[in-house]
Amino acid sequence: MAEAAIELVGISKSFGAVRANRDINLEVQKGTIHGIIGENGAGKSTLMSILYGFYQADQGEIRVNGKPTVIRSPNDAIANGIGMVHQHFMLVDNFTVLENVILGAESNALLNSSISKARAELKRLEQEYSLFVEPDAVIEELPVGLQQRVEILKALYRGAEILILDEPTGVLTPPEADHLFRILKQLKEQGKTIVLITHKLREIMAITDNVSVMRQGTMVATRETAKTTVEELAELMVGRRVLLRVEKGEPAIGAVKLSVRNLTVKDSRGVTMVEDVSFDIRAGEIVGIAGVAGNGQSELLEAISGVRKAVSGTVTLDGKPIDLTGAADPGELRDRGLAHVPEDRHHVGLVLAFEENENSILGYHDKPQYLNGPFLNIEAIRRDAREKIEKYDIRPSDCRLKTANFSGGNQQKIVLAREIERDPGVLIVGQPTRGVDVGAIEFIHRRLIDMRDQGKAVLVVSVELDEIRSLSDRILVMFAGRVVGERGPDATEGELGLLMAGVEQQEAAE
C-alpha cells in the first residue's frame, strides 16, 4: 500500500447559503494520477482551490505526506510542494518563458543571478522530464500546448511534488492532449503525484489510476480506474442514467437556407481569421464546424450573425442577400429569422448583472410585445420569462434573480430559450455546451435536434469533437481560417483530429 501524498479529511466550505463542499474525504496516493470528475458546479474547483490556498475550508483537515498542514495561501501550497496548472493560464504574454518561470520566485532584487540560475535549473528539468521549451521564446508566440508546458515547468521549478491540473485539455487539439498525457505519465514515473480535474470521462479512463467522483458538493465515490466503466462514472456524476450519444433519426433535408460564399473576415487587429470560406446549410440539417479554438470559427460565427463586419464575401439568407460587409446588423438578421447563440454567453449572450427576465429579451427588446410605447412592458416581459423558465426547466425558477447567480447550464438555457422560442429559420450556435453540466447537455442537444427535425437549418461550432460528431449531419473542419475538409457524421476522431491539426488529407491517408 503506497502512502498518501494528500489526505483531505471532512472538508466543508460554504459560500453563503451554498454549500460548495460538504464533508469531503479524499486520499491521493503518492506517485499516482488521480482523477477528479464531476459536473460543473459539483465543487471540484472549490476543493482544489482549498488545497491550493485560494480559499480556507470552514471545517476539515488537510494532510500533506501524512502531516496535518494549514494552507492559507498559494505560497503555503508551494512551500508544501503543491503546484497548480490553471485552466486559464497564469502567464504574462509578453514575457519570455524564462521570465515567466521565475516570476514570483525571483531570489533577489537584481534579476541577473536569478535568470542564470533559472536557466540552469530549467535545463535540468527539461532533461529530467523531457519537457523542452525554448527558454527565450515569448509566451504569446507559443502555441497553447507549449504555454501549458510552461505552466507545468513553473510548478516544477518551484519544487512541486504534487501537481494539480484543472481541465488541462480544454484548449488542446487531440494530438496535443495525447502529448500532455505522455508528459503526465512520465512525471508519474519520476514519482510525482498528479491530480487531474476534468469533466471528460474519456481522459479519466485514458490516464488515471484512481478516480473520485463529485456531485453537488459531495464526494460520491472513489474507484480504481481499471475496475470501473464510463457508464458507471457518468451515472455517478449525474445521479441517474445518461445517454451519452444523442438519439436522432435520419435528416429530412430541404432547401438551402443559408449560403455563404467566399467569406473573408479579419479580427480587430486586422489579422485575417477567416479566408475565402464557402458553404451551404439546408433546412432540416445540422452542420457542425470542428476545429481547435482560434482557427477562425469564432470570427466566422460573429460575421454570419452580423456582430462583426466581414471584409468580403456574399451571403444569402432564404435566397435573399444580406450585406455582411456593411449595413447588416444583428437586429436586422434576427428580424429575418436568423438567431444566434453566441460562444461567450458571459459577455455577449447575456448581461450577467441583469435580472433573468431582462436577459430573456436581449436582442428582442424592441419587439412590440415587450413594449408600451417607449416604456418596457415589465409585466409582459416577466410573464414571458416565467413561461420560458418553465418550458426549459431553468433553475432556480425565479425570473427576478440576477443572471450571474445561475449555473452555466441554466444560463445557457436562458439564451437558448430566448433564441429558439422566436422560431427562427436558421439557428447559429457557438459552443452549445461549454461549461454546461452533463444533465443540461442532454437537454440542449435534444433541443437542437428538435430544431433540425422541425426543418430548421442549424449551424453548430464547437471545440468538443464528441459533440460535433454526435450532433452533426455534416462536419466542416476549419484550420487557420479555411475550411479544410468536409466529412459525414461517421468520420473517425483520428481523421478529424488530423484535419484539425492542419495535416493534409493526402498525408492523412498515407
Partner 1 sequence: MSTPYAKLPRWADYGLIPLINLLVAFAVAGLVVLLVGENPFRAAVILVDGAFGSGPGIAYTLFYATSFIFTGLAVAVAFHGGLFNIGGEGQAYFAGLGVALACLPFDGFLPWYLIFLLAILCSAVFGALWALIPAYLQAKRGSHIVITTIMFNFIASSLMVYMLVDVLKPMGSMAPQTRQFLDGAQLPRLGFLFDYIGMKVRPSVPLNISFLLALLMAFLVWVLIWRTKLGYEIRTMGFSPKAARYAGISETRVIIVTMLISGALAGMMAMNPIMGDQHNVPLDFVAGAGFVGIAVALMGRSHPAGIVPAAILFGMLYQGGAELSFEMPSISRDMIVIIQGLVILFAGALEHMFRPAVQAVFASFSPKSVGVVAAKGEGV
Work out which of 2, 10, 15, 231 binds partner 1, going by CB under 8 A: 15
Select from 34, 215, 340, 452 the one that contacts partner 1 (CB under 8 A): 340
Q: Which stretch binds partner 1 (CB under 8 A): 248-256, 351-359, 383-391, 496-504?
A: 351-359
Minimum separation from the CB atom of position 204 to partner 1 (A): 15
Which of 319, 374, 379, 509 is the binder for partner 1 (CB under 8 A)? 374
Binding flag, residue 296, partner 1 (CB under 8 A): no
* Contact (CB, 8 A) for 359 and 370: no
Nearer to partner 1 among residue 10 and residue 494 (C-beta)? 10
The Cα–Cα gap between 317 and 333 comes to 9
Site string for partner 1, 433-472 (x = CB under 8 A): -xxx------------------------------------
* Look-up of cell digits 424592441: 366
Of 75 and 87, the one with the shorter C-beta distance to partner 1 is 87
Task: Pick between residue 114 and residue 431 the one whose CB is nearest to partner 1.
Answer: 431
**In this chain, which stretch among 4-12, 235-243, 319-327, 367-375 interacts with partner 1, using CB under 8 A?**
367-375
Q: Kindly indicate which of the ranges 13-21, 233-241, 450-458, 469-477 contains the residues binding partner 1, using the contact rule CB under 8 A.
A: 13-21
- At closest approach, how far in Å is the CB of 88 from partner 1? 9
User: Contacting partner 1 (CB under 8 A), which of 329, 390, 393, 450?
Assistant: 329
Residue 87 C-beta: closest distance to partner 1, Å: 7
Closest CA to 441 of 424, 460, 418: 460
**Candidate ranges 101-109, 178-186, 239-247, 344-352; the one touching partner 1 (CB under 8 A):** 344-352
Residue 92 in grid coordinates: 504574462
User: Shortest approach of partner 1 to residue 346 CB, angstroms?
Assistant: 7
248 versus 340: smaller Cβ distance to partner 1: 340
Cβ–Cβ < 8 Å for 70, 89: no
Cα–chain-centroid distance for residue 486?
A: 24
Residue 182: which residues within 8 A CB-CB, separation 6 or more?
none
Binding to partner 1 in span 207-236, by CB under 8 A: none
Of the candidates 176, 154, 427, 454, which has an alpha carbon nearest to the alpha carbon of residue 304? 427
Gap between the Cα atoms of 342 and 368, Å rounded: 24
- Candidates 170, 239, 242, 236; CA nearest to 200 is 170
Considering only 117, 182, 185, 347, the residue that binds partner 1 (CB under 8 A) is: 347
Other residues' Cβ atoms within 10 Å of the Cβ of residue 509? 8
Who contacts 188 (Cβ-Cβ below 8 Å, separation ≥6)? 31, 32, 33, 194
DSSP letter for each residue of 368-411: GGGEETTEE-HHHHHHHHHHHHHHTT-SS--TTSBGGGS-HHHH
In the bound complex, what is the minimum distance in angstroms from residue 428's beta carbon to partner 1? 12
CB of 9 or CB of 307, closer to partner 1: 307
Residue 182-201 contact track with partner 1, rule CB under 8 A, x = bound: ---------------x-x--
How many whole angstroms separate alpha carbon 142 and alpha carbon 121?
A: 21
CA distance 51 to 55: 8
Of residues 152-171, which lie at the interface with partner 1 (CB under 8 A)?
Answer: 166-167
**CB atoms near residue 145 (< 10 Å):** 17
Q: Output b/e per residue, 376-388; b: 16+ Cβ within 10 A.
A: ebeeebbebbbeb
Q: What are phi and psi of 503, to 5 degrees?
A: -80, 130
Q: Could you say which residues in the range 34-93 bind partner 1, by CB under 8 A?
A: 40-46, 49, 54-55, 87
Among the listed residues 61, 344, 390, 504, the single contact to partner 1 using CB under 8 A: 344
Three-class secondary structure of residue 260 per DSSP: strand
**Pattern of binders to partner 1 over 119-138, x per CB under 8 A?**
--------------------
Give the integer Cα–Cα distance in Å for 208 and 343. Answer: 31
Minimal distance, residue 231 CB to partner 1, in Å: 23
Nearest to 212 by CA among 3, 28, 40, 441: 28
Window of 107-115, 329-337, 419-427, 494-502 that interacts with partner 1 by CB under 8 A: 329-337
CB of 54 to partner 1, least distance (A): 5
CB of 39 to partner 1, least distance (A): 9
Where do contacts with partner 1 occur on this chain (CB under 8 A)?
14-18, 20, 40-46, 49, 54-55, 87, 166-167, 197, 199, 305-307, 329-332, 334, 340, 342, 344, 346-354, 358, 361-363, 365-366, 371, 374-376, 378, 404-405, 407-408, 434-436
